[in-house]
Chain A
Amino acid sequence: MGIINFAPKILDPVPGGKYVVNAIDYVVNWARANSIWPLTYGTSCCAIEMMSSSMARYDIARFGSEVFRASPRQADLFIIAGTITRRMAPALQMLWEQMPGPKYVLAMGACTISGGPFIYDNYSVVRGAQNLIPVDVFVPGCPPRPEALFHGLLTLREKILKETCRDPWHEGDTKDVAFMDRYREAAKAWAELEKIKDEEMAEARAKFKEENPDYKSAFKPVRVVKENFPEIAREATPSRGLSQSEMFAKLQAKFPSATVPASGEDTVEAVIQNMAADAPLEVTIDANDYLSAVEFVKNDASFSMDYLIDVTAIDYEDHFELITMLRSMQHGHKLFFCTPLKKNADIPEEKRATALLAKVPTVSHLYPAAEVKEREVYDMFGIEFTGHQDLRRIFLDKDFVGYPLRKDFTNPDMIKRPV
């Protein structure tokens, strides 16, 4: 940068000066192409392959690129390793801006090229790093092998060697690459072509049919032969601690509202009897009894559910179902509370998408583990936990609109998966 960019302006008019400029180009490009210092940036799986590539087996140091800088100000190459989410995007752009020029960007893996596995039904992933920053080299793969990364590095090297100070390095432009749109357009274009072809071929086909009325194709698709395997029944290893029926009996004695969903003519007892030995007991309990039931099983000596596995929810048409998964470290049994929460019907239709639709008391004072899990449920479903100390969105930005895990969630960035 800087002075050498003036070299062609001064030297090119001088006779023989262009050879000097060429020489400068050669030296500068040689230095830049052979000393590429990457920035330590990795968000997910590709980062591990990037790390692997700098380890003993593959050794990126052979290319002189082992100097992974933690500070963007000293880096030349931005290896985007891993998915970029909308929440991470500003940070990514800032990192890129902080790098001094000339800087290069290598998009590693399917996520950073096109969104990869996160194309359909996704509200949080940026589909392609090119939408944010200009990308020089693409290395497809999920994740690419270290060799593929090296191939990307060599490709970048070739690219740098073609530069000249007559047209010095400048910041490229970001591109709006809506891969999905392109896919659809291509498919549409093909359909159009097909139509034209159909029309064109109609005559030839008719003629062909006339000539070969009993035409049979010689092509016989051969199905892949699959090996035959025996059918094997599953064996359930029984859990320790109280059995499901014992637990249920004890619970129902205390909370008459506790049931197990039974379909058809099966009785509740029969359902429990038929449960697999290693399946946890899932008890449906009324929302009013929820907190006292959790308290009861935590403190009761025969239950002593001291360990909270998880809190999550399911969205049904008219209600949520809050699942509180508990386990006893002491005994070893598991108990899942399913609490149906009626959706608040008073909220007008247009506000439902952004409103908290249900309310339930928190259990985070009983289980500190529930604090973050309940925040997750709040974030994803819009269920309010009364009494929660710190009820903020956890995974999404505070200005994100809507609750993604509701079945009716829509987002302008989301592409529906074709059925």
Chain B
Amino acid sequence: MTERITTKQYIKRYLKRCITGPWSLMCGLSVTLKYFFNPKRIVTEQYPENRKTLKMHERYRGRLQMVEDADGNNHCTACGMCERACPNASINVQPTKNIAGKKVLGRYVYHFASCTQCGLCVEACPFGAIRMCQEFEVATTDSSTLEMILNKKEGQG
């Protein structure tokens, strides 16, 4: 920016900045002082301490979970829609045959390690057999625990 100005203008501008400059800095300082002396403005949530009151929203997408009734029965029919909807092979539905020879859910293998919690599987499931749970404390030191079997019981059929 090469702007041509006279010496008089330059000096005028220089002196003006000598006043406005410190004033602008004072304005900035006033904001920090205001924040410093007002403990009500602190917005911190203390996570491990607030564990009891901390609740995720209803739609929060945590880990995948099977919808089960009181007896542990699930609604899964092992149709594999979720497996096809999953973008990255996080779901592996392994069907089996029950005593009547009908295809039912054997193991619902869920790879939490690669799950991106996009929720496409839940969307794809025609029977509402799975959902995203509200769990978020999921850190582990052992990566093999991230591979889990979601169903406790074989599917019904």
Contact = CB atoms under 8 A, between A and B. Distances in A.
B112 A62 contact: no
A296 interface: no
Contacts of A118: 88
Given A201-B99, A224-B126, A140 B113 contact: yes
B139 interface: yes
B89 interface: yes
Given A110-B114, A138-B141, A224 B89 contact: no
Interface stretch (A29-37, A214-222, A334-342, A344-352): A214-222
Contact of B117 (A142, A194, A219): A142
A23 interface: no
Contacts of B115: 110, 140, 142
B117 A224 contact: no
Interface in B120-157: 125-128, 136-143, 146-147, 156-157
Contacts of A119: 88-89, 114
Interface residues of A, number: 61
A147 B141 contact: no
Contacts of B46: 62
A398 to B, nearest CB: 29
B82 to A, nearest CB: 13
Interface stretch (B1-9, B14-22, B24-32, B102-110): B102-110
B100 A217 contact: yes
Interface in B68-91: 75, 77, 87-89
A152 interface: yes
Interface centre among B77, B101, B139 (most CB of A within 10 A): B139
B96 interface: yes
B102 to A, nearest CB: 7
A140 B89 CA distance: 15
Given A56-B44, A194-B96, A222-B75, A140 B112 contact: yes
Contacts of A218: 156
Contacts of B44: 56-59, 62
Interface centre among A136, A183, A198 (most CB of B within 10 A): A183
B139 A138 contact: yes
Interface in A184-239: 186-187, 190, 194, 197-198, 201, 204-205, 208-209, 212, 215, 217-219, 221-224
B141 to A, nearest CB: 6
A120 interface: yes
Contact of B141 (A62, A115, A137): A137
A205 B107 contact: no
Interface string B43-70: 1111110000010000000010000000
A182 B87 CA distance: 18
Interface centre among B54, B113, B141 (most CB of A within 10 A): B113
A17 to B, nearest CB: 31
Contact of A117 (B87, B97, B112): B87
Given A57-B45, A224-B126, A204 B88 contact: no
A219 B137 contact: no
A147 B138 contact: no
A180 B89 contact: yes
A141 interface: yes
A159 B116 contact: no
A130 B143 contact: yes
Contacts of A183: 89, 92, 109, 111
A137 B137 CA distance: 13
A62 B48 CA distance: 10
B146 A194 contact: no
Given A113-B113, A187-B92, A224 B127 contact: yes
A190 B112 contact: no
A139 interface: yes
A150 B87 CA distance: 28
Contact of A120 (B88, B112, B143): B88
A155 interface: yes
A217 B157 contact: yes
Nearest to A226: B126
Interface centre among B44, B116, B126 (most CB of A within 10 A): B116
Given A151-B138, A186-B92, 7 more contacts: A120-B88, A130-B143, A144-B136, A150-B47, A190-B94, A194-B96, A221-B77
19 contacts: A110-B115, A116-B88, A130-B143, A138-B113, A138-B139, A140-B112, A141-B117, A142-B116, A147-B47, A151-B137, A154-B48, A177-B143, A194-B106, A201-B97, A205-B100, A209-B101, A221-B75, A221-B77, A222-B127
Q: Can you list the 10 inter-chain pairs with the closest CB atoms, starting with the nearest?
A: A152-B139, A142-B116, A219-B156, A114-B114, A114-B113, A151-B137, A155-B139, A224-B128, A59-B44, A190-B94
Interface of B: 42-48, 54, 63, 75, 77, 87-89, 92, 94, 96-97, 99-102, 106-107, 109, 111-118, 125-128, 136-143, 146-147, 156-157
